[in-house]
């Protein structure tokens, strides 16, 4: 069958070609969208890793800053490197929180460092320490406790700290150095977002042990949807912890686990889209 090419036929042909082109573009858009939805629905859990004891420029500081994994840097105030470490962590796009020294049930007083929160302080003095610490640890979006097995059991002390957190729109992460901590109870009363540590990752320089702890964190994230792990720079982990996280990271990503910050977890739990 012969088709005579007339002006009208040519015009119709152009219309058809244009329609096909528009359909192809639409199909591409829908398909891309479908793929991205697919990626989100493949998320099988969220991991938050907090690294404590920044502020001393301790062992592993550089390694943690250059990990390229979204970790949360908990920086101790009133230390020679507090400001520098907070600046460096912020520059490396890490989340920064205040690592507040709090009185333990046992242990050496010098482990508490300068201006630690002890239970003999009056509430105004505690608030003053938190206020000054937040000036020292710039960019802090939350607070967690360094030690604190005694102070986190003290309702009055926790109230003073959490009231300051509320004033400054900060969240609190309970490192859970005591099973009898009242942090989440008081935080709920005051309406302060509060999270709890699930796994301590190190306390040793044994890379294999730390890897196992990070995998344990992954298991908890797969079971309950999210998990918070705490590691350290300095003598309790440092380079060994950075190495362990780096080596286990690809395996956990493969499992569909996302590494996020505390603030992102907060948004997810509140039902907002963090990404």
Question: In whole angstroms, what is the distance from residue 110 CA to residue 88 CA?
Answer: 26
Candidates 52, 95, 154, 174: give the one binding Zn ion (CB under 5 A): 52
CA-wise closest residue to 259 among 97, 69, 43 = 69
| Secondary structure (DSSP) of 82-133 | HHHHHHHHHHTT-EEEEEEEE--SSS-GGGG-TT-B-TTS-HHHHHHHHHHH
**Token code pair at residue 56:** 């001393």
Least distance from C-beta 97 to Zn ion, angstroms?
Answer: 12
Least distance from C-beta 86 to Zn ion, angstroms?
Answer: 15
Closest to Zn ion by CB, 54 vs 249, is: 54
**Token code pair at residue 268:** 């997810």
146 is an interface residue for Zn ion by CB under 5 A:
yes
For residue 100, the cross-strand partners are 145
Least distance from C-beta 99 to Zn ion, angstroms?
Answer: 6
Candidates 51, 53, 144, 217: give the one binding Zn ion (CB under 5 A): 53
Per-residue mark of binding to Zn ion, 95-134 (x: CB under 5 A) = ----------------------------------------
Q: Considering only 14-22, 42-50, 62-70, 142-150, which stretch makes contact with Zn ion by CB under 5 A?
A: 142-150
Q: Which residues bind Zn ion (CB under 5 A)?
A: 52-53, 146
């Amino acid at each position: 069958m012969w088709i005579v090419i007339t002006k009208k036929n040519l015009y119709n042909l152009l219309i058809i070609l244009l329609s096909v082109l528009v359909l192809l573009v639409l199909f591409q858009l829908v398909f891309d969208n479908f793929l991205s939805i697919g990626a989100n629905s493949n998320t099988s859990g969220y991991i938050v890793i907090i690294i404590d004891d920044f502020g001393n420029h301790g062992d592993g500081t550089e390694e943690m800053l250059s990990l390229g994994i979204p970790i949360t840097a908990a920086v101790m105030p009133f230390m020679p490197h507090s400001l520098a470490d907070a600046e460096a962590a912020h520059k490396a796009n890490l989340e920064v929180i205040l690592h507040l020294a709090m009185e333990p049930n046992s242990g050496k007083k010098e482990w508490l460092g300068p201006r630690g929160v002890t239970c003999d302080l009056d509430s105004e003095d505690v608030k003053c320490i938190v206020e000054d610490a937040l000036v020292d640890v710039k960019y802090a979006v939350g607070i967690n406790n360094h030690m604190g097995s005694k102070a986190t059991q003290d309702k009055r002390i926790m109230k003073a700290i959490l009231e300051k957190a509320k004033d400054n729109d900060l969240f609190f992460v309970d490192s859970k150095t005591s099973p009898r901590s009242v942090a989440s109870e008081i935080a709920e009363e005051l309406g302060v977002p509060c999270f709890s540590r699930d796994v301590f990752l190190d306390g040793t320089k044994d890379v294999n042990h730390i890897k196992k702890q990070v995998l344990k964190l992954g298991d908890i994230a797969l079971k309950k949807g999210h998990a918070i792990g705490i590691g350290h720079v300095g003598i309790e982990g440092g380079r060994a912890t950075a190495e362990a996280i780096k080596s286990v990271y690809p395996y956990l990503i493969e499992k569909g686990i996302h590494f996020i910050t505390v603030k992102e977890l907060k948004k997810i739990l509140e039902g907002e889209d963090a990404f």
